[in-house]
């Protein structure tokens, strides 16, 4: 089974990259499933039913999220009605939405996708190191192929959770920092990991935003409006090859595909 994970989709440039590049990537990598972090797809902050629909229509099978989950009030509609959209599973019981889901296609075993949020330098949700094994066990009742989007700030927390869940999930892919790391590997128990998948959007700025307002914020310590960067658009992520019988990863390859200039 071949799965493409797409790093944080930032605004319209990110959505356009997914729409225009995914057909080529699907053919190149013989993709069975596509998963994307969509928490920044609406204007660079949050997600709406409209931006989710656009990504689904572009060929994304499951959307994950993170700490910008609540930035758009329309997200409640997604949480309550869209089974292909997941929020961090370590929110308290009773919060709208789901922390994991599964998708299936004819001729391909199901894929489960789960989402967790880190706690270091972020909101104090339930400990992902205790929630992770529990959610992974639930997902594995459906399929051995389980992909985790771990939305976290600290590199150490991401790497540590990968070791903690080695052999319990197929892959632990980090998101949130928007900087693609070069540490992809497969751990001894068969779990592929990558500290951060990067982001999909304009890279001639700061983490997908225009660089001048960000610099002004550092210079003046005053509020600035961070517009979405629109130049040098790349799709970041990774391709996973999973053993359909065991769920173990057989390969992980980083993706950094440029969108050709118009």
Active site residues: 68
- What tokens were used for 228? 């979405």
Residues 6+ apart with CB under 8 A from 200: 6, 7, 8, 9, 10, 14, 17, 18, 36, 233, 234, 235, 236, 237
Q: How many CB atoms lie within 10 A of CB 244?
A: 15
Give the phi and the psi of residue 118 in degrees, each rounded to 5: -75, 170
Residues 6+ apart with CB under 8 A from 166: 187, 188, 189, 190, 191
Question: How far is Cα 101 from Cα 138, in angstroms, rounded to an integer?
Answer: 10
What is the largest distance, in Å, between two alpha-carbon atoms of the chain?
A: 57
Q: In 3D, which of 259, 254, 239 has the Cα closest to residue 5?
A: 239
């Amino acid at each position: 089974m071949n799965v493409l994970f797409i790093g944080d989709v930032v605004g319209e440039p990110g959505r356009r990259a997914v729409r225009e590049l995914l057909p080529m990537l699907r053919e190149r990598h013989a993709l069975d499933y596509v998963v994307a972090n969509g928490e920044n797809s609406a204007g660079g902050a949050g997600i709406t039913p409209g931006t989710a629909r656009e990504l689904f229509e572009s060929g994304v099978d499951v959307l994950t999220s993170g700490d910008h989950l609540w930035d758009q009030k329309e997200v409640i509609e997604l949480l309550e009605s869209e089974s292909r959209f997941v929020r961090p599973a370590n929110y308290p019981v009773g919060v709208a939405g789901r922390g994991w889901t599964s998708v299936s296609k004819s001729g391909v075993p199901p894929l489960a996708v789960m989402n967790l949020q880190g706690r270091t330098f972020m909101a104090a949700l339930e400990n992902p190191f205790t929630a992770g094994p529990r959610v992974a066990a639930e997902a594995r009742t459906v399929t051995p192929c389980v992909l985790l989007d771990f939305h976290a700030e600290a590199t150490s927390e991401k790497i540590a959770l990968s070791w903690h869940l080695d052999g319990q999930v197929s892959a632990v892919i980090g998101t949130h920092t928007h900087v693609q790391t070069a540490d992809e590997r497969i751990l001894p128990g068969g779990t592929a990991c990558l500290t951060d998948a990067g982001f999909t959007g304009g890279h001639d700025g700061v983490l997908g935003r225009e660089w001048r307002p960000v610099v002004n914020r550092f210079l003046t310590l005053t509020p600035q409006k961070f517009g979405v960067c629109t130049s040098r658009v790349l799709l970041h992520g990774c391709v996973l090859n999973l053993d359909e019988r065991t769920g173990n990863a057989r390969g992980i390859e980083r993706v950094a595909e440029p969108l050709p200039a118009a």
